[in-house]
Amino acid sequence: MEVKLLDKTFKPYLSDKEIESRVFELSKKIERDYKDRNPFFIAILNGSFMYASDLIKNVKLECEIEFMKVKSYEGTSSTGIIREMIGLSKSIEGRDVIVIEDIVDTGHTLHYIKEELEKMNPASLAFTTLLHKPEAFEHNYVLDYIGFEIPNKFIVGYGLDYDGYGRNLKEIYQII
């Protein structure tokens, strides 16, 4: 069923069952890769809150999670200006860090985060994103754990929004 948010209409793209299954698969891969380690997750707000919650609930490792808030979107496109709103409250020096993103399109926001976190001397730095738009990606670093590769179209739901609306949808919808 289509949903209307403000002045835009969206059609179903990924069901809650597809998302749940893929998040579980990614959590098990992280468990295998970080066995006998204590990963430090950093979830990027606002969009990653649902993905981060579901991922962390399924990762059966001793771990920690912190949050950063970074914004570069207004409406349906990136402003190209990245503003860190809230930073970390703990040191990540010498830690195995996994950054949790909801979506990576151009990669500018994640590039900014990567550069800032590398200055803090983590032992390792990995990235997981639920959604990746390879057509829009403008950088050459590796995204270690990708849920779904999607076309370069605007989406909402499961934490992603259109001007603040649609984050509460448990499915992901694509703009028509």
pLDDT score of 39 more than 60 = yes
- 74-121 pLDDT, tens digit per residue, is 555 555 666 555 788 899 999 999 999 999 999 988 898 999 899 999
Domains, in order of start, for the chain: 16-153 (3.40.50.2020)
DSSP state of 110: H
Residue 72 has pLDDT above 70, yes or no: no
* pTM, rounded to two decimals: 0.91
Please report which confidence band the pLDDT of residue 140 belongs to, taking 50, 70 and 90 as the band edges: confident
Q: Is 105 tagged catalytic?
A: yes
Within 10 Å of residue 106's Cβ, how many Cβ atoms? 17
The pLDDT value recorded for residue 77 is 57
> What pLDDT is attached to residue 93?
97
Active-site position among 54, 105, 144, 161: 105
